[in-house]
Amino acid sequence: MNRQKIMNFGFWISIVLFTLCEAKVYGQELKSSFKRERIKLDEGWHFMRYENNPDNLIYDVRPKIEEVNDNKVADSKPTEAVKIESKEDVLKNWILPSANDFINDPTQKHIRPEGNPGTDFPFVKADFKDDAWQKVTLPHDWAINKPFYTGDKPEVGGGMGRLPSQGVAWYRKKIDISKSDQGKIIYLDIDGAMSYAMVWLNGHLVGGWPYGYNSFRLDLTPYLNFGGINQLAIRLDNPNHSARWYPGGGIYRNVWLTKTAPVHVAQWGTFITTPEISSKEATIHLSLKLENKTTSTQLVEAKTQIFAADDFGKAKGKAITNFLSENISLNANEKQTIKSKTLLKNPMLWGIYPQQKQNLYVAKTQIFIAGNQVDEYDTSFGIRKIEFHPTKGLLINGEKIKIQGVNQHHDLGALGAAFNVRAAQRQLEMLRELGCNAIRLSHNPPAPELLDLTDRMGFLVIDEVFDSWERKKTPHDFHLIFPDWHEADTRSFIRRDRNHPSIIAWSFGNEVGEQYTDAAGAKIAQELRNIVHEEDSTRPASASQNFAKPDMPFSKEMDFMSLNYQGEGIRDAPAYLHLKGGIRTAPLYPAFQKAFPEKMIVSSETASALSSRGSYIFPVTLENSAPVSDGVGANPVTKEVSGYELYTAQFGSSPDKVFATQDRHPYVAGEFVWSGWDYLGEPTPYYSARSSYCGIIDLAGFKKDRFYLYQSRWRPELPIAHILPHWNWTNRAGQITPVHIFTSGDEAELFLNGQSLGRKKKAEFEYRIRWDDVKYQVGELKVVAYKNGKFWSQETLKTTDKTAKLLATADRKKIKADGEDLAFITIKITDKNGLMVPDANNKINFSLEGLGEIVSTDNGDPASLVSFASHEREAYNGMALVIVRAKKGIKGKMKLIITADGLEKTTIEIKSY
């Protein structure tokens, strides 16, 4: 008998003896079987918000704000924190123990003080009457449907989106816990709450989590009334001047009640890696953390099988392999990690879309005590090989992949921060159409469901955790809690996300002020990088650099070089030389490659080009990149930026300039454009607006002209010929109106009213074809594009007749009646011939008949301060958007009615099933 068999035999002898000696386990009779329950707690909440802080149940004191410059340039130098002293009555010391599972050094774990702060406050009590409070369903963003702040000195400025995201709010919900749950462990899992969340149950302060973007868990068990109603109360405190973009407000992601046996797989307790992969077999390693929350030692058996996953990431069919069962003795109140491995024959690899397939697997872990199953835990994962090569760039499963990425903020436009799977999927679908294959999550952990989507849809992801460390960018940002929480936030962020195959790298910082502090900043970077590698040694980690140069200590702490704007140079082109202040540097790809020949280089932010969809301002710069300013590519009256896609933020570059710099340095792995979609807040250059101008796609989800420039580069096999500007210029007869062509071809001929204006070829390092001397005539513009001398594609623009009709199209005409699924309906104003009138701004009214509701409306204009809740809005350059949702549980039809003065009414029908 070999050693393993002897050990297993001894284990089972001990199981029998243990079972004979212990009539009960967990203080009750053993049940035949138990599987964990995960219950969504999104309905039935009562909500109340106040802008000030009358309850004084504060996490910690915050520095007073003397002066705020809301519209400072985004690459301004972060500054040193303001020192403050905590008061004795703050609740920080009761909240800090919530971080203990993510602090490695036992001597640094937090001890909860005596006492129960807040127990006498009315909102935490079960008998408090909250009937008058607003009834809400999660995910919930309290600010998104409120009026925008206006004026020169708003309470919340353009940087944070001019919406009332600030303030203190309470959420209350009664939860019924059955007597049959006695003996189970009951957890509250919150995927995201903005911010300084503190949770009371039945008047007891359970714990909380300050960082609004991280998911967290609290153990409710000690405070529960089993067999009765339990009162949950959650307090959020969202300070103003806490972000450089719109943070949202509220419990804006899902909340779950998780019921487990006392012995179970710990929170995010599995980690699956595949260090050895070939076409014939893959070695799969499993790290499994188990937790025993009983008062006695438990003898535990763990079994894990691997299944193929279906299209929704769920296990299907029969198990295709398994890990050897593991038997351990788990002490009272102990966590213990088991490591094992197995071989999988003929593995189906996960890879990038469209070149590769997105094969996924599910590892199903079952936990047994004395032959009885007490837990089951599923882990979705993929098998893939990723290599960061210093000269070849990124290799996925041995295939070189050029990174064609974008940066994405967390808001969903008119839906705000409240996460919605369909809205996120729509964003990814349009990015896929663009040719985008990678997402950098700027600058915070995402909703977990977003990563499920990137896994299934084949996007690469750089997952990012912080925008600031100890030095501040805004007075109330993360720097206030970085000393206490950076370790816990980093570890929990990685443990939650590390099984997602779409994640290729970790980012532990974005343009942090510590770039400026030499060795001191590098020391913090080293600490964070080490924490990342302790949690996941299989992926590289970096922090993006917009200031640190190759010879600085900060750069040496990066596994790969993650450069923001430095590759193509900052404020270095002729049109930028007059700018004062800010960072100025020549293109630095060669310098970084020389200093770090062993490390891959990627541009984690490029471009920051600015434009308003469908708006064109004259004259047009003859440069291939120019900074926007009043009267130069921008109109300060209408707060519009020209759609010629040549104008940028002060520190930015046009797409053309970025493409040329990357093509001159082919060892660069690729780029992440700033940004994929417009987002709420940071409305450079007009901080009296509400949302950004830098997206390839506008806030409503309508394509800017820039979309076709990137698509021409990223999908060269797709025949594209796109003309800009539009051709409705009644006031420009005879005036020079430049015409630019974006094409995946290499040559084009332009015709105006049938007359050729010449045939031109793209020169080397040119990415558009320009006719800068065209004089406007009413009529027809036509372009014919060629590739390798052969016809490739064509497009025609016509001067339209006056507005006559409304055209409505839906992204989908059938949606689920689950209260979550959405239909996005685009409205276009057309002439009598059905051509969209590109300068139309008619006021449109929306109403809905039937079994649904209008969730929000938009038009994509960054300067529009019409509430997203409005059922009346002007079209912006011919277009508007309506978002519709079906009522939960009610199947049937709904009809959207669209009217506008002087235009034919139209309707569109949506079915819910």
Q: Are 602 and 670 in contact (CB under 8 A)?
A: yes
- For residues 269-296, one letter each, b for 16 or more C-beta atoms within 10 angstroms of the residue's C-beta and e for the rest, the string is bbbbbbeebeeeebbbbbebbbbbbbee
CATH number of the domain residue 565 falls in: 3.20.20.80
The DSSP element (H or E) to which 647 belongs, if any, is strand 647-648
Q: 670-674 and 601-607 as β-strands: parallel, antiparallel, unpaired?
A: parallel
Instruction: Give yes or no: residues 273 and 240 share one domain.
Output: no
Q: Other CB atoms closer than 10 Å to residue 668's CB: what's the count? A: 25
- 89 part of a folded domain: yes
Residues 67 and 109 in one domain: yes
Task: Out of 234, 260, 286, pick the residue that ends a domain.
Answer: 260
Ranges assigned E (strand) in 239-292: 255-260, 263-277, 281-292
Indicate whether 866 and 889 sit together in one domain: yes
The number of domains in the chain is: 5
Amino acid identity for residue 476 in this structure: H
pLDDT of residue 67: 74
Closest-CA residue to 739 (of 851, 637, 618): 618
- Distance separating alpha carbons of residues 244 and 246, to the nearest angstrom: 7
Backbone angles phi, psi at 901, to 5 degrees: -55, 130
**Which pLDDT belongs to residue 56?**
85
Residue 328 tokens, joined: 């351990």
Residues 253 and 277 in one domain: no
**501, 384 in Cβ contact below 8 A?**
yes
Nearby residues of 231 by Cβ (< 8 Å), 6 or more positions away: 124, 125, 126, 172, 174, 201, 202, 203
Query: SS3 of 79, please?
Result: strand
Domain limit, last residue, from 747, 775, 798: 798
Distance in angstroms (rounded) separating the CA atoms of residues 696 and 134: 37
What CA–CA distance (Å, rounded) separates 645 from 708? Answer: 11
Contact between 543 and 558 (Cβ < 8 Å): yes
* Contact of 236 with 168, CB cutoff 8 Å: yes
Angle between helical axes of 706-714 and 421-434 (0-180°, round to 10): 60
Q: Is the Cβ–Cβ distance between 572 and 587 less than 8 Å?
A: yes
| Model pLDDT, residue 26 | 35
Residue 212 shares a structural domain with residue 271: no
Strands (E), 414-511: 438-441, 460-464, 503-510
- Measured in degrees and rounded to the nearest 5, phi and psi for residue 305 equal -115, 155
In a domain, 6, yes or no: no
Domain boundary among 766, 798, 830: 798
**Residue ranges in the chain whose pLDDT is less than 70:** 1-33, 82-88
Name the token pair of 374: 């007490």
Q: What is the dihedral of CA 87, 88, 89, 91, to 10 degrees?
A: 90
d(CA 862, CA 877): 12
In a domain, 159, yes or no: yes
In angstroms, the Cα distances linking 853 to 419, 846, 848, 913 are 18, 11, 7, 15
Helix (H) or strand (E) holding 722: strand 721-724
Which of the following is catalytic: 291, 605, 682, 795? 605
**Domain co-membership, 787 together with 906:** no
Q: Any idea what the Cα angle at residue 684 is, between residues 736 and 433, rounded to 5°? A: 75
**In the numeric block, which tokens belong to residue 884?**
């519709």
Please report whether residue 601 resides in a domain: yes
Q: What CA–CA distance (Å, rounded) separates 852 from 841? A: 27
Please indicate, yes or no, if residue 27 is contained in any of the structural domains: no
How is the beta sheet containing 843-850 ordered, strand by strand? 814-815, 906-912, 892-899, 843-850, 872-874
Task: Return d(Cα 158, Cα 355) in angstroms, integer.
Answer: 41
pTM of the model: 0.94
The conformation of residue 643, written as its DSSP 8-state character, comes to T
- Check which CATH number belongs to the domain holding 851 and give it: 2.60.40.10
Q: What is the pLDDT of residue 85?
A: 63
**φ/ψ bin of 696: left (φ > 0), alpha (ψ from -120 to 50), beta (otherwise):** alpha
Indicate whether 47 and 124 sit together in one domain. yes
Residue 339 lies in a domain: yes
Looking at the fold, whether 745 and 673 belong to one and the same domain comes out as no
Residue 911 token pair: 């079915």
Give the separation between CA 570 and CA 661, rounded to whole angstroms. 12
Instruction: Identify whether 32 is part of a domain.
Output: no
**DSSP line for 791-811:** EEEEEEEE---S--EEEEEES
Residues in contact with 627: Cβ distance below 8 Å, sequence separation at least 6, in sequence order: 571, 575, 576, 579, 647, 648, 649, 650, 652
Q: d(Cα 721, Cα 716) in Å, to the nearest integer?
A: 12
Nearest residue to 94 (alpha-carbon basis) of 52, 125, 53, 60: 60
Please indicate whether residue 511 is annotated as part of the active site: yes
Q: In this structure, how many other beta carbons lie within 10 angstroms of the beta carbon of residue 717?
A: 7
> 291, 301, 487, 511: which is the annotated catalytic residue?
511
- Same domain for 162 and 304? no
Domain extent at residue 277: 263-382
Handedness of CA 378, 493, 548, 686 (dihedral sign): positive
Same domain (yes/no): 251, 377: no
Query: Is 642 within the bounds of a domain?
Result: no
Give the separation between CA 746 and CA 787, rounded to whole angstroms.
5
Q: Tens digit of pLDDT for each residue in 178-214?
A: 999 999 999 999 999 999 999 999 999 999 999 999 9
Judge whether 460 and 504 are in contact, CB under 8 Å. Answer: yes
Q: Residue 755 class from Cβ within 10 Å (0-12 exposed, 13-18 middle, 19+ buried)?
A: exposed
Distance, CA of 215 to CA of 192 (rounded, Å): 5
Q: Is there a contact between 222 and 293 (Cβ–Cβ < 8 Å)?
A: no
Q: Look up tokens 């309905």; give the residue.
A: 43
Backbone region of residue 741 per phi and psi (left: phi > 0; alpha: psi in -120 to 50; beta: other values): beta
SS (H, E, C) 512-530: CHHHHCHHHHHHHHHHHHH
Q: Are residues 42 and 98 both part of a single domain?
A: yes
Say if residue 112 is in the same domain as residue 233.
yes
Compute CA distances 219 → 63, 212, 223, 868, whole Å.
32, 19, 9, 37
Residue 220's Cβ-count burial label (10 Å; 0-12, 13-18, 19+) is: buried
For residue 147, what are its two tokens?
A: 């009026």
Secondary structure letter of residue 705 according to DSSP: T
